[in-house]
């Protein structure tokens, strides 16, 4: 399997699309900690807080270093489905089987290579973002170095889970176009579900500000009818960190969610979710790929 993994690395090194992915990752990191932060700041002033109003008076790197990580995840889905689909289209997988490699070796070697791609893209993203952000916005003000390291490790774990998911789809769907559509659709679903959950969880048990919903005016201290409590809230909070898209949404909306005390990011739950998704995707992908007829 080591030779298979090495062959994947060689292919990646010669792949122009991979080099473009790395450059785009770096550009995304630089953009989110420089132009994006400045744009939010100016929009807050120009629109009297209607746009970008959740941003502090002075933008800080803490709120922007991971802000666009979900776009990186979407591009990662596109790249993996394209890269693996090319193997099917070129007959590379069939040739590896004819050369004596087992389907298990082919699957796992490719999955390890996909994980490495995710780590490289994310590493380039946050390193470039930090370098540009420290120059434009200064050092961390609210986030400690320990918290930053834990967040980075969590996102590495999420990239592993996403690599396993995209690998499963790419290996059981031979058609490259169909695989790309399914992978992009999957990442959107993983983002929309937790986004819906944050909308439900944003309400506190009692109103802290006066709220007018058009029919009824609620005053400070009134019980909120939209509040979700009990076991339903605990499950929603757990799933917000367990699903791979949950932490991505929280990082994207970090300033706004922090303002309404809705930042969870429970490290053990994130690692548990990533491990479960990785294990499930790997087992399911192997079972299907083992019996799949290769054309």
Q: Is the predicted pLDDT of residue 160 greater than 90, yes or no?
A: yes
Q: Is the predicted pLDDT of residue 271 greater than 70, yes or no?
A: yes
256 pLDDT tier (thresholds 50, 70, 90): low
CA 257 to chain centre: 17
Q: Is the predicted pLDDT of residue 246 greater than 70, yes or no?
A: yes
More confidently predicted of 160 and 192: 160
- Domain chopping of the chain, boundaries: 2-188+267-291
Q: What is the 3-state secondary structure (H, E, C) of the chain?
A: CHHHHHHHHHHHHHCHHHHHHHHHHHHHHHHHHCHHHHHHHHHHHHCCCCCCCCCCCCCCHHHCCCCCHHHHHHHHHHHHHHHHHHHHHHCHHHHHHHCCCCHHHHHHHHHHHHHHHHHHHHHHHHHHHHHHHHHHCCCCCCCCHHHHHHHHHHHHHHHHHHHHHHHHHHHHCCCHHHHHHHHHHHHHHHHHHHHHHHHHHCCCCECCCCEECCCCEECCCCECCCCCCHHHHHHHHHHHHHCCHHHHHHHHCHHHHHHCCCCCCCHHHHHHHHHHHHHHHHHHHHHHHHHCCCC
What predicted TM-score, i.e. pTM, was given to this entire model? Answer: 0.83
| Range with the largest mean pLDDT of 14-23, 60-69, 170-179, 247-256 | 14-23
Instruction: State residue 219's pLDDT score.
Output: 62
| pLDDT one-digit tens code per residue, 77-121 | 888 888 877 776 666 777 777 777 788 888 888 889 989 999 999
């Amino acid at each position: 399997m080591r030779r298979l993994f090495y062959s994947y690395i060689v292919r990646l090194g010669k792949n122009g699309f991979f080099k473009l992915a790395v450059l785009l990752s770096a550009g995304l990191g630089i953009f989110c900690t420089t132009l994006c932060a400045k744009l939010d700041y100016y929009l807050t002033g120009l629109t009297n807080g209607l746009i970008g109003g959740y941003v502090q008076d002075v933008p800080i790197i803490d709120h922007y270093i991971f802000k666009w990580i979900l776009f990186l995840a979407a591009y990662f889905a596109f790249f993996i489905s394209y890269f693996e689909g090319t193997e099917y289209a070129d007959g590379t997988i069939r040739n590896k089987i004819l050369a004596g490699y087992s389907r298990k070796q082919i699957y796992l070697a490719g999955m390890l290579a996909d994980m490495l791609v995710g780590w490289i893209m994310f590493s380039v993203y946050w390193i470039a973002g930090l370098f540009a952000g420290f120059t434009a916005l200064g050092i961390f003000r609210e986030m400690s170095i320990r918290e930053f390291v834990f967040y980075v490790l969590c996102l590495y774990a999420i990239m592993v889970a996403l690599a396993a998911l995209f690998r499963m789809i790419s290996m059981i769907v031979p058609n490259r176009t169909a695989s790309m559509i399914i992978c992009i659709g999957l990442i959107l679903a993983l983002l929309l579900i937790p986004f819906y959950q944050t909308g439900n969880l944003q309400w506190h048990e009692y109103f802290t500000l006066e709220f007018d919903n058009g029919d009824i005016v609620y005053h400070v201290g009134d019980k909120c009818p939209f509040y979700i409590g009990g076991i339903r809230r605990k499950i929603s909070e757990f799933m917000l960190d367990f699903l791979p898209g949950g932490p991505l949404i929280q990082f994207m909306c970090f300033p706004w969610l922090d303002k309404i005390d809705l930042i969870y990011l429970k490290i053990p739950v994130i690692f548990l979710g990533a491990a479960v998704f990785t294990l499930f995707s790997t087992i399911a992908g192997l079972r299907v790929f083992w019996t799949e007829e290769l054309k």
